[in-house]
Amino acid sequence: MRLKDKIVVVTGAGAGIGKSIAEVFANEGAIVLASSRRAVTGQPVADQINESGGKADFFTCDVSNEIDVKNLMEQAEIKYGGVDVLVNNAGVNFVKSFTEVTPADWDRVINTDLRGTYLCSWYAVKQMLKKGSGSIINITSVHTKACLPGASPYDAAKWGVVGLSKSMAVELASRNIRVNALSPGLIDTKIWDDIKAAAPDIDTCMAFWKANIPMGRVGTPEEIAYTAVFLASDESSYITGANILVDGGMTSQLISNEPYESEVLEGN
């Protein structure tokens, strides 16, 4: 077991990638403090882990609400002796053209995706400093390498999280606290369901994404979770300030197809 008895807080653990991180971390021996805005989604995740022999507890937490975050971290210290690993996973996706973005839209996305990461980290780091070590994993996005039209608050938030990760990494390295960003590509969660539902037909949808993801498929939440396990464990003991892309090659590809046959490819 790679995370035996580590106290791990996972935010947004009620669904998608966060749920998978909670489950995979528990399988690796972690005591998972699964937090979610709503008990109706978060509590069953903790219950299911406990029923299958793992250890988990559920806490209600909206990461954009400082009182919730403070309560979550206080409970982590009182009940479990403090946080060893924090996975800042909670996030909202967002699609609207830049000129349509309202200040309320901006605040909602930034408050969850960027400020929420700052708030959880701020409280967790105080406990990690007392414990003498820690690992923070910030779930960002391939949007931290290149952007899509219509995602300006999301892009700003996720790029901000990478900056925060690097800043914290250099400041906290001497205190044995590592901070890394983990950037998923297209992963099979509600986001992928929404993309498929909006497509004219499934064949067109699959052909488009196959061309745009060199590995030819979307990723699974478990593939993100196993990378997070690596970043949480001592196996990554010399990695801090990194932004690890888990994207099937998506951000390594300049364009998906040659528009015409190119002699340059033949070396002429």
Ligand X SMILES: NC(=O)c1ccc[n+]([C@@H]2O[C@H](COP(=O)([O-])OP(=O)(O)OC[C@H]3O[C@@H](n4cnc5c(N)ncnc54)[C@H](O)[C@@H]3O)[C@@H](O)[C@H]2O)c1
Binding site for ligand X (CB under 6 A): 11-12, 14-18, 36-37, 62-64, 89-93, 112, 116, 139, 141, 184, 186-187, 189-191
Structure tokens belonging to residue 1? 């077991």
Tally the residues of the chain.
268
Residue closer to ligand X, measured from CB, 68 or 84: 68
Per DSSP, what are the bridge partners of residue 9? 33, 86
Distance (Å, whole) CA 177 – CA 170: 10
Minimum gap (Å) between residue 97 Cβ and ligand X: 19
Distance (Å, whole) CA 45 – CA 167: 33
Residue closer to ligand X, measured from CB, 18 or 134: 18
Minimum gap (Å) between residue 58 Cβ and ligand X: 13
Residue closer to ligand X, measured from CB, 50 or 65: 65
Minimum gap (Å) between residue 16 Cβ and ligand X: 2
Minimum gap (Å) between residue 156 Cβ and ligand X: 13
Structure tokens belonging to residue 205? 């949808």
Angle in degrees, 0-180, between the axes of helices 116-131 and 66-80, rounded to the nearest 10: 20
Minimum gap (Å) between residue 244 Cβ and ligand X: 12
Amino acid at position 226, single letter: Y
Closest residue by Cα to residue 242 from 127, 162, 158: 162
Out of 118, 154, 226, 260, the active site residue is 154
Distance (Å, whole) CA 233 – CA 226: 11
User: Are residues 58 and 35 in contact, defined by beta-carbon separation less than 8 angstroms?
Assistant: yes
154 is catalytic: yes
Residue closer to ligand X, measured from CB, 16 or 134: 16
Residue closer to ligand X, measured from CB, 129 or 230: 230
Distance (Å, whole) CA 256 – CA 86: 36
Structure tokens belonging to residue 41? 């989604």
Give the three-state DSSP class for 246.
Answer: strand
Active site residues: 154
